[in-house]
Amino acid sequence: MIEDIARVLSAGPALVLTGAGMSTDSGIPDYRGPDGQRKVTPMHLSEFVGSSEARRRYWARSFVGWRRFHAARPNASHHAVTRLQELGAVGPLITQNVDGLHQAAGTRDVVELHGNLVQVLCLTCDARVDRRVLDERMAAENPGFDVDSDEIRPDGDVRLDAVDVERFRTPICTSCGQDTLKPDVVFFGGAVDKPRVQHCFDLTDRAPSLLVLGSSLQVMSGLRFVRRAAKQGIPVALITRGPSRGDDLVDHRVDGELADSLRVLTQSVDRLAASA
């Protein structure tokens, strides 16, 4: 089946769509288990917007989780995608991840569908601040807040006890003084900006094929591009672990670990290129 995908890629650089499964080998787990069921529930946008207490809870958890999240490095799967791009087998990439690991691995033309955690914006005045700068401020305003947690989530936060959250000082926007700072990412329950979605539709329409990596396609934000490709008759290949919501739409399906599958795929693309 990997050889079939390699032959699809030989027809021209595929559009790539990646999900949380790309980053699990970097120490950032996904939200769902092999059966597609959600293991943890992220904070809902309405909850974050609805109260200062919810924002304090989010930022306390995120402050602790940021150290491990920010320390994550690209894994073999990220580097394999970069190599496939260098070989001309894949082109632009749409990622549902917010960790920036594709860019860190050298991949070009990356569209971050859900944003990136390194940017923070104020919901009141639209001011922006770099997350690393904000982290330094939070550390200064919360001396001694060094809570251990063995958990990290795809959006960079962790689970904390209520007693820990209660002693955390929520970061304040230095422009307007409000506690409405939010990572510039799409929260659970939120929506991707329409221009960004349209750009991704345009990429899909122009692509000779679509290669989906590490996504169960359980949410519409990614599934819609697979549906679009299938409707247009564009070949769709999927490599992920466990079932996906788009299994009935794909032409080629590999159920397995990404790193091994992408290593074999890269070798197959190399062989086909050499024999052409």
Number of H helices, E strands in the chain: 10, 9
**Is position 200 annotated in a ligand binding site?**
no
**Is position 173 annotated in a ligand binding site?**
yes
**Is position 176 annotated in a ligand binding site?**
yes
Cα–Cα distance, 156 to 154 (Å, whole number): 5
Which residues have a Cβ under 8 Å from the Cβ of 202 and sit 6 or more positions away?
Answer: none
Under 8 Å between Cβ of 238 and 253: yes
Known catalytic residue: 78?
no
Under 8 Å between Cβ of 112 and 18: no
Give the relative orientation of helices 194-206 and 220-232 as an angle to the nearest 10 degrees: 30
Q: What is the DSSP letter of 33?
A: -
Instruction: Write down the catalytic residue from 78, 79, 114, 252.
Output: 114
Cα–Cα distance, 15 to 204 (Å, whole number): 7
- Residue numbers in the known binding site for Zn(2+) are 122, 125, 173, 176
Residues annotated catalytic, as ranges: 114
Annotated binding residues, as ranges? 122, 125, 173, 176
